[in-house]
Amino acid sequence: MSTNLLKIQEEIKLSDGLHITGRWLNHTGIEEYFPEELVITVRASTPIAEICTVLAENDQVLPFYIDDKTQSIGAVYAIGAQDLSDSVLGVQIIDGTGELLNFGGQVMKNVAGYDVARMLVGSRGQLAVVTQISFKVMPRQYVGELKFRAKTVERSALREEVEKRLKTVFDPRGIFS
């Protein structure tokens, strides 16, 4: 495990309130990439442009629309970019107690029960620190041109209840704001 992650875990354990940003995490790079398996695992602060460059070497792409490729993949995950959750295979997080946890994996079908890796998409850093994410990728010729499609996000009562319960599980001390 990287020294940076150990520092973050320690800071979370000692803190009673944090606002997480990509600069705070500073955890970049491609963790693993298996082009033949159509799977990539990236650290959360990795710029999307860097990921796209690596994928392009094998004529592959992330199969979701991103308008600003200077953003980090963790920021896009946190705000819930359109169609991103369909591509998430797994996630590694540090929860509100400072524990490093893994959910999902690097295979298309890996979930028995709740799909936490997808449930955290759009959580805006209020439940945990996302440290790395695994995505399925696609051959460029299968995806074609990705276009922005307006997607309305309504805050349903069910979503509010699920987020409230997730908050008690992942951030029991209430340190993420």
Q: For the whole model, what pTM was predicted? A: 0.82
Place of tokens 């449930």: 119
Q: What is the pLDDT of residues 163-174, one digit of tens each?
A: 888 889 889 888
Please compute the mean of the pLDDT values over residues 26-37 and round it to a whole number. Answer: 92
pLDDT of residue 106: 64
Q: What is the pLDDT of residues 97-135, one digit of tens each?
A: 999 999 987 655 545 556 788 888 888 888 898 999 999
Residue 26 near residue 48, CB atoms below 8 Å: no
Phi, psi for 56 (deg, rounded to 5): -60, -30
Angle CA 80–83–84, to nearest 5: 55
First to last CA, the chain: 26
Check pLDDT > 60 for residue 136. Answer: yes
